[in-house]
């Protein structure tokens, strides 16, 4: 079955080629982003809207965010404190339910689901 081996080899080469191409495109896009961010930062420094240090941080942050978007499988950064999550109800008001109330609500919904499945 020599045809199968050739097919596998071509598939591997295609995968490597696509990965290489995607890497080159990402590098090129990041380089363009860096150039544009640097131009914007330089213009803002020239106008006096930010300091040189703020401009450097702005460019670094923009690149860091772009790289985070381009590498979704990267491990998340550890934050010094937990991220706050606000749960809103239908009226967009914060929900202040206790754990017991939430457990009871889940039980009620499970019971309602069982009744609906029996009908």
Q: What is the DSSP string of 47-62?
A: HTSS-HHHHHHHHHHH
Provide the 10 A C-beta neighbour count for residue 100. 8
Q: What residue ranges do the domains of the chain occupy?
A: 13-72+91-118
Q: Smallest Cα–Cα separation from 70: which of 103, 25, 39, 18? A: 25
Summarised one tens digit per residue, pLDDT across range 52-72 is: 888 888 888 887 887 776 565
Q: Smallest Cα–Cα separation from 55: which of 67, 69, 37? A: 37
Mean pLDDT of the chain, nearest integer: 77
Summarised one tens digit per residue, pLDDT across range 22-40 is: 777 777 777 788 888 888 8
pTM comes to: 0.39
Question: Using CA atoms in the order 11, 16, 17, 18, what is the torsion angle rounded to 10 degrees?
Answer: 90
């Amino acid at each position: 079955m020599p045809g199968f081996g050739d097919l596998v080899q071509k598939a591997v080469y295609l995968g490597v080629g696509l990965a290489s191409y995607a890497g080159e495109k990402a590098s090129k896009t990041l380089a363009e982003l860096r150039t544009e961010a640097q131009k914007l930062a330089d213009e803002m420094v020239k106008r006096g809207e930010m300091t040189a240090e703020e401009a450097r941080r702005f460019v670094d942050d923009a690149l860091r965010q772009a790289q985070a978007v381009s590498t979704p499988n990267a491990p998340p950064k550890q934050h010094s404190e937990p991220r706050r999550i606000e749960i809103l109800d239908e009226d967009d008001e914060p929900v202040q339910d206790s754990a017991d109330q939430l457990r009871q609500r889940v039980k009620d919904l499970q019971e309602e689901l069982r009744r609906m499945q029996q009908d």
